[in-house]
Amino acid sequence: MSLSRDTLRGWGFTAPALIWTLAFFVVPFLVMAAMSLATLEGRTLVWGLHADNYRELLEKRYLWRAVVVSLQITLTVTAVSVALAYPLAWIIAFRVPKRWQRLALLLAILPFWTSYVVRSYAWLTVLSKEGVVNQVLLSLHLIAEPITLANTRFATVTGFVHFFTMLLTLTIFANLIQLPPNYRRAAMDLGASAFQTFRHVVLPLTLPGIVTGAFLTFVLCIGDYITPQILGGNTELTVPQVIMVQLGRRADFPLAAALAIVLMGLVTLAYLACARWLRLDRI
Amino acid sequence: MKALPWIFLAAMGVFIYLPVGALVLFSFQGGTLPVPPFNGPSFQWYADILGDRDLMAALGHSMLVGLGSSAVATLLGFTAAYGLARHHLPGTTLMRAMLIAPLCVSYLIIGLGLLIMVQRLGLGLGLSLGTAGIGHVVINLPLCFSIIYASMGAQQLSAERAARDLGATEAKVVLLITVPMLLPAIAAAFFLSFTLSWDEFIISFLLTRFDVTLPVEIWSMLRSGLSPRLNAIGSLVFLVSVVVVLAMETLLFGKRK
Amino acid sequence: MKKLTKALLAGTALTALTTGAQAADELNALVWCDHTDPALIQPFEAAHDVKVNLREYEGTGAALALLEQSRPGDWDVLVIDGIDVFRAVEAGILAPLPEEALPEDDFFPQVVLKANNAPDGTAYAVTEKFGYNTISYNADKVDEADMQDLSTVWSDKYAGKISIYDYYMPVMGLAAMADGIATADITADSLESIGKTLSTMRSHAISVADVVSAQTALATGEADIVVGGGEWLTAVLQAEQPELTWTIPDQGAVVWTQSIGVLAGSEKPDLAVEFVKYITSPEGQARLATSSCFWGMPANKLAADHLTPEQKEILRWDNQEDYLAKAQLYPAPDMDLDIEMQDLWLETLSQ
C-alpha cells in the first residue's frame, strides 16, 4: 500500500507540469497537424485528409526552395558557430587566469541579452554601405569602395553566428571546465602530442556539450523569422518567412501548418542525427 | 604562436561587441539616422522613448508576462522535478521526455500551434498577453525542469529523510528543506525563464491582440521606419538585462567561491 | 501540497488575464499603423471619453480571417485597402454607413471610388487617405530624367542600385504599366509579360525591402532607387536628406487608397460611426495625413486648412490633380488571380 501512496503523491507533484505540456504543447501540435491536412475552398476551411498542402509544397518552387535555403543557412551557421565558439571557450577555460575566468565568460556572452529584434537591426546598420565595417575597411585601404554586405545571405549568417557563438561558448565552456585536468596531464605524460590529447581525450569527452549546443543552435536557427527578415534582403526566403507570408497576407493556415510540420520534420531529423550524444536534461 | 590565442580573443571581442557598440553609440545620435557620421551626443531619443505611452505600456506588459510566466514555469518545473526525483513512478523516462520535448521544437511551431488551437477550439482563450504567457511557460518549463532536476542530489535526500523521520509532513519537508536547499537552482531557473520570456518575439507576436510585449512593439516601430529611437530603446533593454544578469551572477554564484 | 495550490492559482490568474472583460466605453479597431499615432487618437478619446484599442495587421486576408473567427461585437472599426472593401462586404462583415458620415463632396473626386466603397450601391466604407506607389530615388546619384521612364529605371544602367518594395500588388501594377497593360485590365494572360518584367527588375535589384529596409537602403546609399516607393517612404527622410525624393513617371504610377468602415455586429455602432466621422473630418484628416507611421494625402480637401504650408509642400498638395490624372488604381484581381499573382511574386523573389 505504501508504494501506491508514494506513487500517487509522485503523480500529484508531476501532474500539473504534464497537464500543462499536454494541454498547451501536445494538443496544439495535434490540432496543427490536423490543420495541415485541411484545405481552403475559397476562404472556407474544409477539414479532412487532404494532401493538397504537401503536394503544393512539392509543386511550387518557392516553397521547396525555402526548405533548401533554410537548411543551407542553418547548417552553415551551426558549423561556423561551433568553429568560433570552441576555441573561444577553450581559451577562456584554459588560458585565461582562474580569477578572471568568470568575468571573461560573462563578457563573452553579455551581448546575448540585447533585445533580439534590436540586435538584428543593429547588424543591419553596422553592415550597411555607410556602416562601421565598410568605413573601417575603407580607411584601412582594404577596399576601394563600399561593398554590399547588408541584405545578403552573408548578413543573415553573420547575425545568426553572432548570437549562437555566445550560446555555444557557454555550453562548451561548461563542458570543458568539468574535464578533470589530470586526464590531459596523464595523456601528455604518456607521450601524447597536444593534438593527440585533444583528438583522443578532450574531444570525445566534450562531444556531448558540443552536440547539445549545436542541436539547440539548429532548432533555434531554423525556426527563426526575425533575423533573415531584417538582414536577408528578402531575395531568398526561409521557411519561417514563407510561413509568415501565408499567415499575414493570405491567412492560409493549412499551408502554414504544413510548412510548420515540414520544419518539425527537419528538426526531428537533426535530433535523430544527434541523439547519441544529446544530453538535453543536462543543460 | 604564443600570441595567437590572445589575437583570437581580441578578434572575437570585436565581433561580439560590434553591433552592441554601434547600437549604444548611435542611440546618442544628434540627427535622425543611426548611421555614421556620428554627431552627438544627444539625449533627445531617450527623452522621446521615455515619453512614448505605447512603448512604456509594452515595457510593463513584458515585465508582467515575464514575471508571471517565469513564476508558473519555475513552480511547475520544481514540482515535476521533485515528483520524478523523489517518488518511484512508472514511466519516468517517458514523462521526462515529454517534459523536455518542447525544448526541441522551434518557437514558431509552438506559437502557430497555440494560435490555431485558440482560434479553432476557443476554450475561452482569446488572443492576449495571458495567452502569450501560456506559450512562454511552455517554452520555459523544460529548462526550469532540467535545471532543478539536475540539482536534486543526494545531499538533500538525506536531509529530507531525516526531517521525515522526525515526523515532518511531506509539504513541510518540501517547503522547509528541499526548497531552501535548492534555492540557487530555483532562482537560476526563474531568472533564465525571465530573460527568455522578456526577449521572446514570435509567440507574443502571434498570440497578443491590443496589449503587446516590448519585442512586438519594437518590431512594429521597426516596420514604420529607421530611427535612433530604436537604438535608444535597444540600449535601455540591454541595460535592464545586464543589471538582471549581474544581479544573478553576484547573488547566486558570487557566494560559491 | 501548497506548491500545487499556488501553481494552480497562478495558472488561474494567468488564464483570467486572457479573458479580461472589456469596459463599456472601449472601441476596438483593426487598423493600419498610421492610426496608432497618439496625436491622431487622443483627441477622439478625450472628446468622447473612450479608450480606443488598436490592432495593426498586415494583409487583408489575415484581417478577414481574424474577423471571421472573432465573436460578433469583438470589433467595431476596420481600416482596409480600398480595393478590398468588396471582399469584406461579400463576407458580410461591414455595416452600411449613414450618409452623414460621408463628407464625400469635400473629397478629391478621383478617390471617392464609389465602385469600391459601395459595391452594390450601399456605402459600406469611405476613403480616408491615398498616395502613390511609384519611384523613390536619390537625386544626387541618378539622372532625374531617367526616372521619368519606368523601363530605364530598371535598365542595366541602374543594375545593383535598385531596391524593390516588398508588396506584390503595387509593384506588379507598375510592371504592368511599364508593359502597357492598364492595372484594371490585368488578367491571368497578362502574368507572363508581368513576370518577365518582374524578373528583369529582380535581377537588377539588390534587395526586396519592407519599409525600414527600403529607408535604410536609401539613407545609407545601399540603393539609389526604390521601385514601389513614394511620399510615404521618403517624407520622413527628407528633412535630413533632401536629395531623397520621388516622382511619378510618364507611364504613371499606382494609387493606393485606404478606406474605413464600421463592422456589422458592433455593439457600439454609434460610437464607431462617430470615429469614422472624426477620421474623415478636416482635423482628423490632417492628423492622419501626417501620422508618425507614414504620411499620405488626406481624401478630404478641407484638411488643407489644418496643414502647414511645409506639410502641404511635402505632401505635394498642389501637384495632386496632375498626379491623379497620370496614376492608375491598384490592380483588383479576383481571389484566384490574386493567389496566382502572389505565387508569381514569391517565385520571382526566389529566382
Kindly determine whether residue C239 and residue B32, on different chains, have CB atoms separated by under 8 Å: yes
Kindly determine whether residue B109 and residue A260, on different chains, have CB atoms separated by under 8 Å: yes
pLDDT higher than threshold 70 for residue C1: no
Q: Which of C20, C56, C212 sits opposite B222 (nearest CB)?
A: C212
Q: Name the residue of chain B whose CA is nearest to C18's CA.
A: B130
Q: Are residues C205 and C333 in the same domain?
A: yes
Place of cell 471619453: C49
Burial tier of B31 (Cβ tally within 10 Å: 0-12, 13-18, 19+): middle
| Three state DSSP letters for chain B | CCCHHHHHHHHHHHHHHHHHHHHHHHHHCCCCCCCCCCCCCCCHHHHHHHCCHHHHHHHHHHHHHHHHHHHHHHHHHHHHHHHHHHCCCCCHHHHHHHHHHHHHCCHHHHHHHHHHHHHHHCCCCCCCHHHHHHHHHHHHHHHHHHHHHHCCCHHHHHHHHHHHHCCCCHHHHHHHHHHHHCHHHHHHHHHHHHHHHHHCCHHHHHHCCCCCCHHHHHHHHHHCCCCHHHHHHHHHHHHHHHHHHHHHHHHHHCCCC
pLDDT higher than threshold 90 for residue C129: yes
How far apart are the C-alpha atoms of C90 and C70, rounded to whole Å? 17
The pLDDT of residue C119: 85
Overall size of chain C counted in residues: 351
How far apart are the C-alpha atoms of A183 and A188, rounded to whole Å? 9
pLDDT digit string (tens) for B92-120?
888 888 998 898 888 999 999 999 898 87
Q: Is A34 among the domain residues?
A: no
pLDDT digit string (tens) for A170-192?
888 888 887 777 777 777 777 77
Q: Which of B54, B175, B224 sits opposite C211 (nearest CB)?
A: B224
Q: Which domain holds residue A252?
A: 60-282
Q: Which of B108, B141, B238 sits opposite A114 (nearest CB)?
A: B238
How far apart are the C-alpha atoms of C203 and A234, rounded to whole Å? 13
Backbone angles phi, psi at B238, to 5 degrees: -60, -45
Q: Name the residue of chain B whose CA is nearest to A163's CA.
A: B16
Q: How many domains does chain A have?
A: 1
Higher pLDDT, A200 or C87: C87
Q: Is C12 among the domain residues?
A: no
Under 8 Å CB pairs connecting chains A and B tally to 259
CB C272 within 8 A of CB C76: yes
Q: How far is A69 from chain C (nearest CA, A)?
A: 10
CB C265 within 8 A of CB C288: no
Please list, in sequence order, all residues whose beta carbon lies within 8 angstroms of the beta carbon of residue C38, skipping any fewer than 6 positions away: B53, B54
C211: which chain B residues are within 8 Å (Cβ-Cβ)?
A: 223-225
Q: Which three cell numbers stand for residue A161?
A: 553566428
CB A213 within 8 A of CB A278: no
Q: Is C181 among the domain residues?
A: yes
Kindly determine whether residue C28 and residue B72, on different chains, have CB atoms separated by under 8 Å: no
CATH of the domain at C213: 3.40.190.10
pLDDT digit string (tens) for C234-247?
887 777 788 999 99
DSSP C107: B
Using a CB–CB cutoff of 8 Å, tell me whether A135 touches chain B.
yes
Kindly determine whether residue C213 and residue A242, on different chains, have CB atoms separated by under 8 Å: no
From C166, C308, C293, select the one nearest C236 (Cα to Cα): C293
Q: Name the residue of chain A whose CA is nearest to B94's CA.
A: A18
Q: Is C214 among the domain residues?
A: yes
Kindly determine whether residue B130 and residue C33, on different chains, have CB atoms separated by under 8 Å: no
Best mean pLDDT range from A110-114, A199-203, B70-74, B91-95: B70-74
How far apart are the C-alpha atoms of B2 and B23, rounded to whole Å? 34
Best of A5, A13, A269 to disrupt the B interface (most B CBs within 10 Å) is A13
Q: Are residues C62 and C80 in the same domain?
A: yes
DSSP C324: H
How far apart are the C-alpha atoms of C57 and A90, rounded to whole Å? 47
Q: Name the residue of chain B whose CA is nearest to A167's CA.
A: B16
Q: Are residues C138 and C245 in the same domain?
A: yes
The pLDDT of residue C279: 94
Q: Are residues C232 and C191 in the same domain?
A: yes
Collapse the DSSP code of C111 into the 3-class scheme (helix H, G, I; strand E, B; otherwise coil) and give the result. helix
Chains that touch A (3 or more CB pairs under 8 A): B, C
Q: Is A128 among the domain residues?
A: yes
The pLDDT of residue B256: 46
The pLDDT of residue C120: 84
Kindly indicate the confidence band of residue B253, based on its pLDDT and cuts at 50, 70 and 90.
low
Under 8 Å CB pairs connecting chains A and C tally to 111
Q: Are residues C239 and C212 in the same domain?
A: yes
Residues facing A45 on adjacent strands: A40
Backbone angles phi, psi at A232, to 5 degrees: -80, -10
Q: How far is C334 from chain A (nearest CA, A)?
A: 11
The pLDDT of residue C276: 94
C86: which chain A residues are within 8 Å (Cβ-Cβ)?
A: none
How far apart are the C-alpha atoms of A164 and A166, rounded to whole Å? 5
Please list, in sequence order, all residues whose beta carbon lies within 8 angstroms of the beta carbon of residue C137, skipping any fewer than 6 positions away: C144, C147, C224, C225, C226, C244, C245, C246, C247
Q: How far is B108 from chain A (nearest CA, A)?
A: 6
Using a CB–CB cutoff of 8 Å, tell me whether A114 touches chain B.
yes
Chain C contact residues (CB < 8 Å to B): 1-4, 6-7, 10-11, 13-20, 28, 33, 36, 38, 53-56, 69, 210-212, 215-216, 219-220, 236-237, 239-241, 292-294
Please list, in sequence order, all residues whose beta carbon lies within 8 angstroms of the beta carbon of residue C86, skipping any fewer than 6 positions away: C116, C119
Q: How far is C98 from chain A (nearest CA, A)?
A: 29
How far apart are the C-alpha atoms of B114 and B120, rounded to whole Å? 10
Q: Name the residue of chain C whose CA is nearest to B115's CA.
A: C66
Q: Is C50 among the domain residues?
A: yes
Kindly indicate the confidence band of residue A50, based on its pLDDT and cuts at 50, 70 and 90.
confident
pLDDT higher than threshold 50 for residue C17: no
pLDDT digit string (tens) for A233-253?
888 889 999 998 888 777 788
pLDDT digit string (tens) for C173-212?
999 999 989 988 888 998 999 999 999 999 998 888 888 7
Q: Name the residue of chain A whose CA is nearest to C163's CA.
A: A233
| Three state DSSP letters for chain A | CHHHHHHHHHHHHHHHHHHHHHHHHHHHHHHHHHHHCCEEECCEEECCCCCHHHHHHHHCHHHHHHHHHHHHHHHHHHHHHHHHHHHHHHHHHHHCCHHHHHHHHHHHHHHHHCCHHHHHHHHHHHHCCCCHHHHHHHHCCCCCCCCCCCCCHHHHHHHHHHHHHHHHHHHHHHHHHCCCHHHHHHHHHCCCCHHHHHHHHHHHHHHHHHHHHHHHHHHHHHCCCHHHHHHCCCCCCCHHHHHHHHHHHHCCHHHHHHHHHHHHHHHHHHHHHHCCCCCHHHC
Q: How far is A183 from chain B (nearest CA, A)?
A: 22
Q: Which of B96, B106, B231 sits opposite A281 (nearest CB)?
A: B96
Using a CB–CB cutoff of 8 Å, tell me whether B76 touches chain C.
yes
Collapse the DSSP code of C331 into the 3-class scheme (helix H, G, I; strand E, B; otherwise coil) and give the result. coil
Q: Is A155 among the domain residues?
A: yes
Q: Which three cell numbers stand for residue C213?
A: 529596409
Report, as an integer, the average pLDDT of B135-141: 94
From B20, B22, C217, select the one nearest A149 (Cα to Cα): C217
Kindly determine whether residue A87 and residue B8, on different chains, have CB atoms separated by under 8 Å: yes
Question: Chain-centre distance of CA A35, in angstroms?
Answer: 26
Using a CB–CB cutoff of 8 Å, tell me whether B116 touches chain C.
no
At the topology level of CATH, where does B58-154+187-253 sit? Answer: MetI-like fold (1.10.3720)
From C57, C22, C50, C56, select the one nearest C37 (Cα to Cα): C56
How far apart are the C-alpha atoms of B93 and B95, rounded to whole Å? 5
Using a CB–CB cutoff of 8 Å, tell me whether A280 touches chain B.
yes
pLDDT digit string (tens) for B150-188?
888 777 788 888 888 888 888 888 888 888 888 888 988
Kindly determine whether residue A131 and residue B120, on different chains, have CB atoms separated by under 8 Å: no
C-alpha distances out from residue A171 to B1, B192, C81, Å: 27, 14, 49
Kindly indicate the confidence band of residue B252, based on its pLDDT and cuts at 50, 70 and 90.
low
pLDDT higher than threshold 50 for residue C2: no
Burial tier of B115 (Cβ tally within 10 Å: 0-12, 13-18, 19+): buried
Question: Chain-centre distance of CA C312, in angstroms?
Answer: 20
The pLDDT of residue B250: 77
B214-223 and B53-86 are packed helices; what angle lies between their axes, rounded to 10 degrees?
140
Kindly determine whether residue A12 and residue B114, on different chains, have CB atoms separated by under 8 Å: no
CB C251 within 8 A of CB C150: yes
Q: Are residues C246 and C333 in the same domain?
A: yes
Q: How many domains does chain C have?
A: 2
Of the listed ranges A176-180, A189-193, B68-72, C122-126, the least confidently predicted one is A189-193
CB B177 within 8 A of CB B159: yes
From B96, B116, B81, B98, select the one nearest B186 (Cα to Cα): B81
How far apart are the C-alpha atoms of A227 and A156, rounded to whole Å? 6
Chain A contact residues (CB < 8 Å to C): 12-13, 16, 20, 42-43, 60-62, 65-66, 69, 121, 124-125, 128-131, 146, 148, 150-151, 229-230, 233-237, 242, 245, 247-253
How far apart are the C-alpha atoms of C191 and C169, rounded to whole Å? 12
CB count in 10 Å sphere of residue C250? 10
Q: Are residues C212 and C345 in the same domain?
A: yes
Q: Name the residue of chain A whose CA is nearest to C65's CA.
A: A251
The pLDDT of residue B160: 83
From B212, B65, A247, B230, select the one nearest C54 (Cα to Cα): B212
Residues facing C300 on adjacent strands: C107
DSSP string covering C10-49, please? HHHHHHHHHTPPPPTTEEEEEE-GGGG-HHHHHHHHHHHT
Q: Which domain holds residue C195?
A: 131-254+328-349
Kindly determine whether residue C38 and residue B130, on different chains, have CB atoms separated by under 8 Å: no
- The type of residue at A59 is E
pLDDT higher than threshold 50 for residue A21: yes
The pLDDT of residue C236: 76
Q: Is C11 among the domain residues?
A: no
Q: How far is A59 from chain C (nearest CA, A)?
A: 11
Place of cell 514601389: C228
Best of C210, C218, C335, C346 to disrupt the A interface (most A CBs within 10 Å) is C346
CA dihedral of C326, C234, A241, B132, whole degrees rounded to 10? -120
CB A234 within 8 A of CB C350: no
Using a CB–CB cutoff of 8 Å, tell me whether B124 touches chain C.
yes
Q: Which three cell numbers stand for residue C290?
A: 501626417
Q: Which of B125, B210, B226 sits opposite C53 (nearest CB)?
A: B210
Q: Is C19 among the domain residues?
A: no
CATH of the domain at A138: 1.10.3720.10
The pLDDT of residue C152: 87
